[in-house]
Amino acid sequence: MPDALFCHCRAGFEPELAAELTERAASLGHAGYARTERGSGFVEFICDEATQLARQLPFASLIFARQKLLRLAELRGFDPKDRIGPILAVLDTAVRRRDSEPFGDLWVEHPDSDDARPLSGLARSFGNALRPALRKAGWLTAREDARLPRLHVVFLAGDHLVLGRSHPGDSAPWPQGIARLRMHPQAPSRSALKLEEALLTLLDEDERSELLREGLTGADLGAAPGGWTWVMLHHGLHMTAVDNGPLRAHLFDDGRLEHLRADGFRWQPEGTLDWMVCDMVEQPRRVAERMASWLREGWCRQTIFNLKLPMKKRWDETRLCLDLFAKQVGGPVDIRARQLYHDREEITVFARRK
């Protein structure tokens, strides 16, 4: 079986991820092809040097992938009464030739799709059975070890699974790449979950400590009813919410919020803010251009914003908007983008000047 990358994604966005992987692989000199079905929740990119491609294509650089795995093997048609035996056999043959070190953790998963969701119970129970068998065979450490690769078992059906490997430093830290966050009772809207996930996904721990602390300043463009404003206030920032609509009254309780009834696309601050965040429903190119002006003019030091994608040619629009944004900023700029679990027809972007 040829090597492959196996990537989880949002169901319905398989063509976008397939196009992204194909284009990115070609730019790195790798010939291959993407294999997927719309609605499946995953894409496989088949190529002869997938191990090398996995090293050259960091997970953090992918936009439409929730998780990136190196596919080790695909098993199908086995007896559902003995799923462990075929897995151990594959590990002792194909995988042993590549790398004999044990895995530091085991994740048993399924794609996040309508067809695969009924497999969640099987995945949960099978993980409990497989884990001790792997330890007995020497394939899994006695305790979780984040320094070692993870073993992934991804069920596509009861008698069809994919074995994959990920490295903790080059993959999502959650099974299926899904950050399952709980809605805080004080959050004004569910959109708060998008920004919370973005801060966990697009910033590392050191950056969150440095950039999200008391005393910093920020603005939320198109803030009403205040979901993103609430997140930034929760991190200790002093915020200016810019929107003609009303905000939830409790956001004003600690005195760190100013509400300006103004157009978020026209308003600009008198001095430099630490943050600008924006989740306005608007044409993505118009948003990209306006967000770029905030960095170019020095109105903020960093920004997180959403780009609402069209129904067709979403990968093309993504590339166009991000290229337009970088060009409009001018000079070196750090851009990180991802379609988050809590996003829908959109991607979330973090950017700051280098």
For 101-134, the pLDDT digits (tens) are 899 999 999 999 999 999 999 999 999 999 999 9
**Interatomic CA distance for residues 292 and 325, integer angstroms:** 5
Instruction: Kindly state whether residues 308 and 254 are assigned to the same domain.
Output: yes
**How many Cα atoms within 13 Å fall on the side-chain side of residue 172?**
28
Contact present, 157 and 62 (Cβ < 8 Å): no
pLDDT at residue 3, as a whole number = 84
pLDDT at residue 99, as a whole number = 60
pLDDT at residue 333, as a whole number = 97
| Residue 183 falls inside a structural domain | no
Annotated binding-site ranges = 191, 224-227, 243, 263, 279
Q: For the segment 255-307, what is each residue's pLDDT rounded down to a tens digit?
A: 999 999 999 999 999 999 999 999 999 999 999 999 999 999 999 999 999 99
**Interatomic CA distance for residues 319 and 130, integer angstroms:** 42
pLDDT at residue 95, as a whole number = 72
**Interatomic CA distance for residues 97 and 129, integer angstroms:** 25
Q: pLDDT below 50 — which residues of the chain?
A: 1
Give how many domains the chain has, as a whole number.
2
Distance set, CA 41 to CA 35, 74, 132 (Å): 12, 17, 29
Instruction: Kindly state whether residues 168 and 204 are assigned to the same domain.
Output: no
pTM: 0.94
| Residue 261 falls inside a structural domain | yes
Instruction: Kindly state whether residues 167 and 204 are assigned to the same domain.
Output: no
Instruction: Kindly state whether residues 117 and 220 are assigned to the same domain.
Output: no
pLDDT at residue 18, as a whole number = 98
**Interatomic CA distance for residues 33 and 224, integer angstroms:** 44
Instruction: Kindly state whether residues 118 and 196 are assigned to the same domain.
Output: no
| Residue 182 falls inside a structural domain | no
| Residue 55 falls inside a structural domain | yes
pLDDT cut 70: percent of the chain above it = 98
Among 152, 177, 202, identify where a domain stops. 177
β-bridge mates for residue 162, sequence order: 74, 154
Instruction: Kindly state whether residues 137 and 268 are assigned to the same domain.
Output: no
Instruction: Kindly state whether residues 127 and 263 are assigned to the same domain.
Output: no
Residue 99, sorted as left (phi over 0), alpha (psi -120 to 50) or beta, turns out to be beta
Q: What's the domain range around 26?
A: 4-177
Q: Which residues are catalytic?
A: 308
Instruction: Kindly state whether residues 156 and 223 are assigned to the same domain.
Output: no
pLDDT at residue 80, as a whole number = 83
With tokens 């090293």, the residue in question is 55
Annotated binding-site ranges for S-adenosyl-L-methionine = 191, 224-227, 243, 263, 279
Instruction: Kindly state whether residues 166 and 210 are assigned to the same domain.
Output: no
CATH number of the domain at 333, please: 3.40.50.150
Instruction: Kindly state whether residues 205 and 339 are assigned to the same domain.
Output: yes
Torsion, Cα of 273, 279, 284, 286 (10° steps): -50
CATH number of the domain at 144, please: 3.30.2130.30
| Residue 184 falls inside a structural domain | no
Among 177, 205, 225, identify where a domain stops. 177
Closest CA to 37 of 204, 157, 173, 186: 157
Instruction: Kindly state whether residues 266 and 152 are assigned to the same domain.
Output: no
| Residue 186 falls inside a structural domain | no
Torsion, Cα of 302, 308, 314, 317 (10° steps): -60
Instruction: Kindly state whether residues 312 and 251 are assigned to the same domain.
Output: yes
Among 177, 210, 233, identify where a domain stops. 177
